[in-house]
Structure 1
């Protein structure tokens, strides 16, 4: 098996040969770049890489770790139904937005409205192409894609504007809302941007789009028109049909609605909504009951995708994956989240060239195997350890319980018939349990392996430390138990697994375990997700918003930020 450095050298040599022709040089910049995956970078960012693999195409983890650093080639297979809400029964031309969930698209199936005069220059509604969801909650709301219930981008809630009337364009009878249905009839290739990449925030959610793909460091965060057009210009040149992103729900930016891989199944007119809003800001608890229920049903539909987009509706091609986290580039960390703001122009171009190289190669049909399913690998690791780690740190967990748990986890790796000083052989078997059978074929495979085994080695090291405290020590007492629990707590903090934050023991019927999902949510729910029903779903969204685009947030008082998050992995999410 070739090493990573040998593979890298071979890849650069092949790229140099390919660049000898003008056509090849025009297709990709990778030949002119020295950027290749780095095992050292992968080990340094191992816990964040592990979590990005675990959260890909999953609403829960992609909401908590909202600054995605990775790009994936994703194929939507034939037979998948997608939805579009708009003001017209006529299919759009594109680029336009399709939702995976009906409730997501329903929010935009509204009559077109005209807005009151803006209260200040530059406050006209922006929005996504063809999206006409009805009136904004307040007259200077920046983005008309969301019909409810978030505030305008103003500097202080003390200067809250008063709602003004709004009316339909062309009269009541001439405009209605429509829900369009589409289905794929052939594989639909898309570029997936992980994290909350549809979140219009200055917190880093748009970094892969604006900095990396558009090479634009000063893009307006609300410029969805320009963003969609430029992304489509780029990915269609690579042979793709659009982009997958995530906000409160997953969406597809489809570049051309005449794409032969998709078929229009029809449009259904929606009931005309009444836009009478009680006084008070969204999230204040003063919405009418119907609106609260509508919001809750939307959140409930999205929550069903916490653990996956579902039913094979989108499949990752693992041979076309690029992450800034496994390259020697200047990723910076703010509040425990990675940012691309520190990368040089050449580094950004190199990353973009690499994903282009891989997408073009896969799209050409030259390779048919989809590679190692790395998400399946990390899923098995999380499934084996997550619950047991949580059990061991509970206050009520006593010596005997911890002994049983750690022994059940480690005994399988120990050969009691061999002399294994310090359990070094057993620890190696533990760390490589799920990776030793794998056959690595790409540069990225080697980097991912380095990251995954860094994580598993940390797990196994900590567990053998616990074993030494409570199993090998026959005289273990309460002090030993507390030391063992602290070892496990430190490990969990380092791992930062988003499964640790799920509502325990779970929510009841008519409730969802709520976390901030752009544009909704409050800071308290990010720290501790909680069960919400239709009457409490919007609690805290206005006065305690998690998202910076609403109200600028004060700098963290504990000095958190910059590179401190790097040492903590993704522990800032615990």
Structure 2
């Protein structure tokens, strides 16, 4: 059972099923298509899938710190320079308390720093400078990738896989990031993994042991206020951060992460209740583990461990299921949107649909209702993909269910528009477009929210925790250096808002509209 299903059942052992994969097919498809891609991970931010991941030997990674020494406990590594730079600051300065200065990235840095454990041999006194650490992987790093915006400290479902499923802790505190990182490392290290990959405004690694398979290259001291090197930088820093992130919308780049799609484990493969309990607060299609029982969660967690232990050596073949979804999206996305939203000519609609379907029709064979052609169309992109694991089989079912929906709808449209080929009418066009819009509402492909064009001094902006506004989630838009932070405070997308820090103040009701709320 998927969304809306009853959580009560009399099953003994919870197992994945083809029926669940088919029922959740659209979500599974989007999970695969968006994996390690910042654009889709931001829009489908409640990730419900886990994959084995490998960062290859030689990859350069970054760590921002208030200390020049490497961490001695579980800590974070960034894939991008700008992401590491953001944390390369002194940590003892409290965050601002006014709405106009309460930058979400500054608040994020403060919250993480507040939980930072002390390091042996270092001073707890305020540091005058931050440091950007550079590391090189000396061996392939084996990690667990959690999809969606899994590094987002929200109550919206971004932490469900970590807290509910992996940690078994439904009451975990949002800001206990070091505790969360350490408990996850305690879990995955015995499985043979070295950490996790998560996503916020950038991809990050939770590295369990910085002395394991890592070469410490440098700790470059950062300039502080008044130092040379900051001239003009603070004016453009936020925009430049977003520019660097936008370059990872469609992939991490340079083969820096290889996902084992044949290792995918997801609650969406199981007959569990994934209903979002608060559909009015966010998009109701964004699913949650809130209603999944503890027993069910333990069964799925056991499956994650089983798959990881079986495939952690990386010797088994993996099917590139993301490549399969790419082929399907490339084939259909622009055409489906075009004919559903912009085409106003029945003749053009007929031509596009015939172009999509003719290759699956053998006109020398009688095929009543085009059942044979629909089957050919639906299996076209999955029939040659090898199925080697149970996960492969479930993924194949899910992708096949999506292509079945696409092909069946297109043949329904074909029937409508060809039956009225001689007597074209507005009603015919409207009926066909209605079928296509209904299909698109189920597919919910993230490609359709991309900006059509931005100039070189703009980026297409979508909310990425901890930054962003509600309007940009509904309709991502082009932003420049002066507009990049529009709506981040007064129309913030992510919940909850950051609590204020500093001296306690009585709640006299004097907070201005849009000021961050206390937790």
TM-score of the superposed pair, with normalisation by structure 1: 0.77
Q: Distance in 2 between matches of 1:100 and 1:234?
A: 23
- 1:268 aligned counterpart, secondary structure: strand
Q: Which runs of 5+ in 1 are unaligned?
A: 1-31, 116-135, 153-167, 276-287, 553-574
2:426 pairs with 1:478: yes
Match of 2:350 in 1: 403
Shift of 1:211: 0.4
- 1:393 aligned counterpart, secondary structure: helix
Assess if the C-alpha contact under 8 Å between 1:137 and 1:149 holds in 2: no
Residue 130 of structure 2, aligned match among 143, 160, 177: 177
2:220 pairs with 1:268: yes
Spell out, residue by residue over 1:506-539, the C-alpha distance to the aligned partner (whole angstroms, 9 max, x if none): 1111111111100100100011110001100000
RMSD value over aligned CA atoms? 2.5
Match of 2:378 in 1: 431
Match of 1:123 in 2: none
Match of 1:247 in 2: 200
Aligned pairs for 1:322-401 (under 5 A) are 322-333=265-276, 334=279, 335-363=284-312, 365=313, 368-401=315-348
Q: Distance in 1 between matches of 2:438 and 2:232?
A: 44
Spell out, residue by residue over 1:90-144, the C-alpha distance to the aligned partner (whole angstroms, 9 max, x if none): 11113110001101111111123243xxxxxxxxxxxxxxxxxxxx23399xx99
2:477 pairs with 1:524: no
Q: Which runs of 5+ in 2 are unaligned?
A: 1-10, 112-122, 500-519
Shift of 1:296: 0.7
Moved more, 226-235 or 265-274: 265-274
Assess if the C-alpha contact under 8 Å between 2:460 and 2:479 holds in 1: yes
Q: Distance in 1 between matches of 2:180 and 2:460?
A: 32
Residue 106 of structure 2, aligned match among 147, 157, 180: 147
Shift of 1:423: 0.6
- 1:526 aligned counterpart, secondary structure: helix
- 2:48 aligned counterpart, secondary structure: strand
2:262 pairs with 1:319: yes
Assess if the C-alpha contact under 8 Å between 1:292 and 1:535 holds in 2: no
After superposition, the Cα gap between the structure-2 partners of 1:551 and 1:398, relative to the gap in structure 1 and judged at 3 Å, is: farther
Q: Distance in 1 between matches of 2:138 and 2:371?
A: 53
Shift of 1:318: 2.4
Shift of 1:175: 2.3
Assess if the C-alpha contact under 8 Å between 2:136 and 2:215 holds in 1: yes
Residue 415 of structure 2, aligned match among 461, 464, 468: 468
Q: Distance in 2 between matches of 1:206 and 1:383?
A: 31
- 2:151 aligned counterpart, secondary structure: coil
Residue 457 of structure 1, aligned match among 389, 399, 404: 404
Moved more, 210-219 or 449-458: 449-458
- 1:146 aligned counterpart, secondary structure: helix
Moved more, 476-485 or 200-209: 476-485
After superposition, the Cα gap between the structure-2 partners of 1:319 and 1:393, relative to the gap in structure 1 and judged at 3 Å, is: closer
Spell out, residue by residue over 1:300-345, the C-alpha distance to the aligned partner (whole angstroms, 9 max, x if none): 1111111111111111112322000011222222422111111111
2:87 pairs with 1:108: yes
Q: Distance in 1 between matches of 2:342 and 2:372?
A: 33
Q: Distance in 1 between matches of 2:335 and 2:430?
A: 16
After superposition, the Cα gap between the structure-2 partners of 1:466 and 1:151, relative to the gap in structure 1 and judged at 3 Å, is: farther
Residue 23 of structure 2, aligned match among 31, 41, 44: 44
Q: Distance in 2 between matches of 1:145 and 1:355?
A: 33
Q: Distance in 1 between matches of 2:182 and 2:36?
A: 23
Q: Distance in 1 between matches of 2:29 and 2:357?
A: 22
2:78 pairs with 1:99: yes
After superposition, the Cα gap between the structure-2 partners of 1:270 and 1:150, relative to the gap in structure 1 and judged at 3 Å, is: closer
Match of 2:449 in 1: 501
Match of 2:247 in 1: 304
Spell out, residue by residue over 1:409-443, the C-alpha distance to the aligned partner (whole angstroms, 9 max, x if none): 00000001000001110000000001111222222
After superposition, the Cα gap between the structure-2 partners of 1:541 and 1:425, relative to the gap in structure 1 and judged at 3 Å, is: same
- 1:250 aligned counterpart, secondary structure: strand
Shift of 1:147: 2.1
- 2:135 aligned counterpart, secondary structure: strand
Q: Distance in 2 between matches of 1:217 and 1:231?
A: 15
Q: Distance in 2 between matches of 1:516 and 1:541?
A: 9
Equivalences, count = 466
Residue 47 of structure 2, aligned match among 63, 68, 72: 68
Shift of 1:551: 8.2
Spell out, residue by residue over 1:454-510, the C-alpha distance to the aligned partner (whole angstroms, 9 max, x if none): 111110011111211223432222321122112111111110111111112x11111
Assess if the C-alpha contact under 8 Å between 2:32 and 2:325 holds in 1: yes
Q: Distance in 2 between matches of 1:525 and 1:151?
A: 25
Assess if the C-alpha contact under 8 Å between 2:462 and 2:477 holds in 1: yes
Q: Distance in 2 between matches of 1:417 and 1:371?
A: 39
Q: Distance in 1 between matches of 2:194 and 2:104?
A: 22
Q: Distance in 2 between matches of 1:258 and 1:512?
A: 37
Q: Distance in 2 between matches of 1:45 and 1:434?
A: 19
Assess if the C-alpha contact under 8 Å between 2:78 and 2:203 holds in 1: yes
Shift of 1:291: 3.7
Q: Distance in 2 between matches of 1:466 and 1:514?
A: 35
Residue 157 of structure 2, aligned match among 204, 218, 222: 204
Assess if the C-alpha contact under 8 Å between 2:80 and 2:202 holds in 1: yes
Q: Distance in 1 between matches of 2:492 and 2:485?
A: 10
Q: Distance in 2 between matches of 1:41 and 1:357?
A: 20
- 2:51 aligned counterpart, secondary structure: strand
Match of 2:237 in 1: 294
Assess if the C-alpha contact under 8 Å between 2:25 and 2:399 holds in 1: yes
